[in-house]
A and B are shown apart, each in its own frame.
Chain A
Amino acid sequence: MNLILSDRALPVPEICRASSEFFDLSQMRIAHCLGCFGCWVRTPGRCVIRDDAVRIYPRIAASRKLLCVSRIWCGSYDLPMKTMLERAIPVQQAFIRLWHGETHHLQRNPLPKQALILGYGDISAGKQDIFRQLVSRNAHNMNFEEYRIVFTSEEELEMTFQKEAIAWANS
């Protein structure tokens, strides 16, 4: 199954509906990570906060294709997506490995993914550069085999999403 996470409602193209799950994070109840590490050292793979995030992070792990749509704030994912990504740490283990010469957490067992990240909003060149760096860092921790980043304005988001989602589903 493919997975689409978005921080706002978007019309999902017909071709994506059969093969993808769509979650509009703005309509979900997702608290911030408490940093308790319970999902590593008390109930491995399971978050202590029983809100909507517990439906999503297993889907992140199980997806082969992931499409994330997020507003950009100061070169970062904006709050809804950032909060969800932080809540996805049950996908990782506490233990650390060497990965591309750096120390990173071991993965619990997520599928390797092709990811498409659609960043919108304030997308000046400097912010794009920071966002690219952020996604490349996340790629190490989210088992991205390949990823692509597309930037668009808020006005053109729906149109860009339609076009990119169709290409993503067909790829």
Chain B
Amino acid sequence: MGELLILNGSPRAPRSNSRQYALLFAKSYPQAVETFAVGQCRPWELCRAMEDCSDLLLVFPLYADGLPSPLMGFLQELEKDPPHNRPVISILINCGFLEPEQNHTAIRILRRFCQKNGYPLGSILKIGGGEAILSTPFRFLAKREIRQLAKSIHRRSYGTFQVTMPLSKQMFLRASSRYWENCGKRNGLTREQMSAPQIENESPPPQ
């Protein structure tokens, strides 16, 4: 007992921000951790590993205001074939929006999952601006909170933490516009092209 497992719940696990957050967490955690990723392992593999662990950290992005569907599917498989040992589940969730509070509904859904299935809920870290924060000068803020998260889990003194970029909303809008414009530019697209109203090449209906 005592081992910590990380489950990366991002649909783009190998290239995800969640992977970066999980790596930062692993560096901050005083003991070795084992990392699994949805889509790269079977639920029974995680289930077997959970028999010998005390803590499970779920790391994932906010998708449509909830859990990403591959992570939901994974948890539903765990419901059908649960481990005998129920580790404490902690959460590291990030959303691309400035407000870390936008993660609340997803956390409530996971809290309900834990209640329903007998998993104690541990620490929670909510990250706002999570798509970009690691590539900004505010990276240190995210690292600092991840260290706090790691410490709280290791000491079994569970708590809730949050972090975002210390920008006004207007500054965030400008910074995020630059971020996305640069993403488009790398693919030869202008802002106007990225903002086209056509969906699947269909012209929009009259308003």
Could you tell me which A residues sit within 8 Å of B by CB distance? 32-37, 40-42, 44-46, 54, 57-58, 61-62, 73-77, 79, 82-83, 85-86, 88-91, 93-98, 102-104, 106, 108-112, 126-127, 130, 133-134, 137-138, 141
Contact A61 B199 (CB under 8 A): yes
Contact B173 A34 (CB under 8 A): no
Return the CB mask of B38-55 against A: 1 if under 8 Å, else 0.
Answer: 000000000000000000
Contact A82 B173 (CB under 8 A): no
Contact B199 A91 (CB under 8 A): yes
Other A-B contacts than A57-B199, A79-B76, A108-B204, 14 sampled, CB-CB below 8 A, are A32-B73, A33-B11, A36-B12, A40-B184, A40-B194, A58-B199, A58-B200, A86-B63, A95-B177, A96-B177, A96-B180, A110-B204, A111-B205, A133-B108
The minimal Cβ–Cβ distance linking A28 to chain B, given in whole angstroms, is: 14
Measured between alpha carbons, how far is A91 from B197 in the docked complex, in Å? Answer: 9
Contact B72 A103 (CB under 8 A): no
B135 near A: Cβ within 8 Å? no
Contact A75 B108 (CB under 8 A): yes
The minimal Cβ–Cβ distance linking A24 to chain B, given in whole angstroms, is: 18
Contact A137 B65 (CB under 8 A): yes
Give the residues in chain B near A98, CB-CB below 8 Å.
169, 173
Contact A58 B202 (CB under 8 A): yes
Contact of A141 among B16, B65, B96, B183 (CB under 8 A): B65
Given that A35-B61, A95-B177, A96-B173 are contacting pairs, would A44 and B66 also be in contact in the complex, using a CB cutoff of 8 Å?
no
Contact B201 A45 (CB under 8 A): yes
Measured between alpha carbons, how far is A86 from B67 in the docked complex, in Å? Answer: 10
Given that A40-B180, A83-B69, A102-B99 are contacting pairs, would A45 and B64 also be in contact in the complex, using a CB cutoff of 8 Å?
no
Could you tell me which B residues sit within 8 Å of A by CB distance? 10-12, 16, 61, 63-70, 72-73, 76, 96-99, 102, 104-105, 108-110, 112-113, 116, 169, 172-173, 176-177, 180, 183-184, 186-187, 189, 191, 193-202, 204-205, 207
Measured between alpha carbons, how far is A3 from B205 in the docked complex, in Å? Answer: 15
Highest count of chain A CB atoms <10 Å: which of B64, B76, B196:
B64
Q: From DSSP, what is the main secondary structure of chain A's interface residues?
A: mixed
Contact B173 A76 (CB under 8 A): no
Contact B72 A79 (CB under 8 A): yes
Residue of B nearest to A88 (CB): B64
Contact B11 A94 (CB under 8 A): no
The minimal Cβ–Cβ distance linking A46 to chain B, given in whole angstroms, is: 6
Contact of A44 among B69, B70, B113, B189 (CB under 8 A): B189
Measured between alpha carbons, how far is A93 from B199 in the docked complex, in Å? Answer: 11
Contact B10 A35 (CB under 8 A): yes
Give the residues in chain A near B109, CB-CB below 8 Å.
74-76, 130, 134
14 CB < 8 A contacts A-B: A41-B180, A42-B187, A45-B196, A46-B199, A57-B200, A58-B199, A62-B202, A79-B72, A93-B195, A94-B183, A102-B97, A108-B197, A134-B109, A141-B65
Give the residues in chain B near A76, CB-CB below 8 Å.
66-67, 72, 109
Measured between alpha carbons, how far is A126 from B108 in the docked complex, in Å? Answer: 10
Contact B198 A45 (CB under 8 A): yes
Measured between alpha carbons, how far is A130 from B205 in the docked complex, in Å? Answer: 33
